[in-house]
Structure formats: structure tokens, C-alpha cells
Amino acid sequence: MEFLAKNTNQNKKIAKSIVDIVINENINIILLKGTLGAGKTTITREIGKLLGVKTNISSPTFVIEKIYIPKKYFSTIHHIDLYRLHSKKEIEEMEILEEVKDKENLYIVEWPDLLLKKIEQNYLLVDIKKGKGNGRTFKIRKKRRWEQDVRRLIQLNIIFISSIISSKFTL
């Protein structure tokens, strides 16, 4: 799905769509991609408000993770910013991949590139692009772990079959 927000007020509608997907699809991980200033923290703030967070949601860039208490749907919201992390080892040391398995909590992750291929659960990927003025384009995709597994099996099968074929013809 792709949405165009011409101003910050329309971010609320997009945040509502994201919350609806998360609740209806039983997803507890939202990955936010976008350049600096694209609006990742802004959309997180709107999601938090919709879930009943009363405190101000701000960027966790310098602390990496902030935790908020929503009034509905989840026990906690973990707002994680991986901008300052540069290796998969740092991700492993933080135990984020174990942490996100807890379905009672919502995990919103900015700069998720180091996590993308490692996440074992279903997640929502939101790619935010800056437009003119305050405009933003939001591309929202549900990622299902089984789809990734099927793709991997197909690739392995193709490699396996092609190696069998090539070995039969290289006698």
C-alpha cells in the first residue's frame, strides 16, 4: 500500500492505518525506513497517541531505546533507533531479536537494515520518502516470515536442480 501525506495532519490518518494493520494482523513489529528527517519519529508519536501513550514520544537516537506505556492493545511500546549501530554483532549483543518475540509488546524500530534478514516473525515495513514541503510518501508492506522461507526454498531448489542438470551434462 502506498499513501501520500501532503501535510502533517494526514500523518494521523496514516498512523491509524498502520495501527489497524498491526492490530488486525496480530503484528507486533513495525520497521521504519527513511532518510534523516523523513518523519519516522513523527509517525511513531502518532502511533503512540492512538494507542493511548500520554507521555511525549521523542527520538531514541542517543539512548537507542525508549519504552512507553500505552493504554490499549500492548503492555509496552519499545521505540528503538538503530542509527548508531553498525554491525550485526551489536544487534546480537542488545538481544533485540529475542526481545521482539514478545507478542505482548509493540516494537517500532527506526533504521532497521541490520535486522531485516534476521527477524523470524511477521512485521510491517514502512518506507517513508520526503516530498515537497511537508509532503511524505509512505509505502507500507506486510512481511510474512513464511514468504521469505518459501523464497529461500525456491532459490535452493533452483540451485539444486541446476547443479543436477549441469552434472548430468558434464560427463
Q: What is the pLDDT of residues 127-168, one digit of tens each?
A: 999 988 888 999 999 987 555 555 555 656 655 555 555 555
Dist. CA 120–CA 163, nearest whole Å? 29
β-pair type (65-68, 77-81):
antiparallel
- Is 53 inside any structural domain? yes
- Is 6 inside any structural domain? yes
Domain that holds residue 49: 2-144
Question: Which domain CATH number covers 23?
Answer: 3.40.50.300
- Is 111 inside any structural domain? yes
Is the pTM of the predicted complex or chain greater than 0.95? no
- Is 166 inside any structural domain? no
- Is 160 inside any structural domain? no
Transcribe 60-76 into DSSP letters: -TTTSEEEE--SSS-S-
- Is 164 inside any structural domain? no
Q: What is the pLDDT of residues 33-64, one digit of tens each?
A: 999 989 999 999 999 999 999 999 999 988 99
- Is 28 inside any structural domain? yes
Q: Which residues contact 146 (CB under 8 A, 6 or more apart)?
A: none
Please tell me the total count of domains within the chain: 1
Dist. CA 99–CA 107, nearest whole Å? 9
- Is 27 inside any structural domain? yes
